[in-house]
Amino acid sequence: MEIEGACVVWQGAILGGILFWIFSSSHFNLTQKLRSFLQPWATHHVQTTTHIVLQIQSYQHGFLDTLFSGLSCVVSVPFYTAFLPLLFWSGHGQLARQMTLLMAFCDYTGNCIKDVVSAPRPLSPPVRRVASTKDEEDNALEYGLPSSHTLNTVCLSGYLLHYVLIHTQIQGPYVNYLGFSLVCLFVALIGLGRIYLGMHSLVDILAGLVLGLGILAFWLVIDEHIDSFVTSGQNVTPFWVALSFLLLFAYPTPELPTPSFEYHTAFNGVALGIVAGVQQTYHQFHHDAVPHLFSENLTIPVFVGRMMLGIPTILVVKFCSKTLAKWIIPVVANTLGIPIRSSRYIKSDKKIKEGGYLLTKHEVFDVDTGIRFVQYAGLAWSVVDLVPSLFTYTNL
């Protein structure tokens, strides 16, 4: 009873703290005040370090363009979104859970800071900006500080190294040194690449590095507690639903609309879907004794079969979730008398193309936010619940 009581207390404290921030930031206009303090400083450093970006770009070469563009894709949010289901299906459930939730935390924190500070990216021209994919073109529309690629690389590669050294038989000082050196090299290449591609200035990279190290240190302290809560805690799904809902409203309004809020909404939905699914099916599909890839019970042909069944299934679920949300959310909003707008998913004669936050100053609900959230929550739930059930029925 004492444990349950303590659990309810800290859940209430977290939700209450977020509610307090929402009301206080709205009443006292905290976002604008923070921006007026931080934006001039960040903008000054972006402008005064442009010569460093130009100096690095003076070594322009087609090979470097391809190398750094490829590395940026490997550490992008779409790549992690595609990679994490495979990690779940390979039997490494704990690592997959931690990487998903850490990614969601990094994405939310980094994008919040970006939109609070609203610092520009290096001016192009004179800086040459290389955006070889649609994802990179969208990234260029965000604000610059901190560098999300650097932040995510520090946290996820650092946590992966920690997990491998703690949970595997790979041990020894030379292994630790080699692993640490590889992670440092990878982070350095990502940071250098973001400057070379003209996507960030030096101050953006340093901010991403410092913030990433801080988040990683914090996560290494709480990761086991979070995993224990997700797999066997009390009121997990209701708490996470409330948390996800409040985080949407707690997100700061940027100076100008950017895609950052869309990215957060998607991964916020992913986190909820993963948590809800694992909470319900942990003892069936995600406990520590499940077969791992390369073991006798999960060979490469079986894993390939899982991918061939799982990937189309989650895409169908994503489509169905999106279709259902496009129908239900506007109906509910209209029933409650809430004005809505949509810039992407719903056709309307009064369509307003505006994004980056949940409510406009006229209290018009951005229905695209709810649709995006639901479709990614449905996709993530299918990864850890529906698809493993299909694996069981098909002996995969």
Angle at 16 between CA 13 and CA 18, to 5 degrees: 110
What is the rounded CA–CA span in Å between residue 50 and residue 147?
A: 16
| Greatest pairwise CA separation for the chain in angstroms | 65
What is the rounded CA–CA span in Å between residue 341 and residue 357?
A: 12
- Concerning whether 200 is annotated as a catalytic residue, the answer is yes
Catalytic residue among 51, 92, 149, 283: 149
Would you call the peptide bond into 40 cis, given omega within 30 degrees of 0 as the criterion?
no
Is residue 359 classed as helix, strand or coil in its secondary structure?
strand
Q: Which helix (H) or strand (E) holds 105?
A: helix 93-117
- Concerning whether 149 is annotated as a catalytic residue, the answer is yes
What is the rounded CA–CA span in Å between residue 272 and residue 239?
A: 10
The 10 Å CB-count burial string (b at 16+, else e) for 297-313 is: ebeeeebeebeeebbeb
Tokens standing for 90?
């390979």
Contacts of 355 (CB under 8 A, 6+ apart): 257, 258, 259, 261, 262, 343, 366, 368
Catalytic residue among 92, 200, 264, 286: 200
CA dihedral 340, 343, 348, 352 (to 10 degrees): 70
Listed residue (259, 213, 266) closest to 111, CA to CA: 259
What is the rounded CA–CA span in Å between residue 146 and residue 210?
A: 9
Listed residue (27, 107, 43, 53) closest to 255, CA to CA: 43
Active site residues per annotation = 149, 200
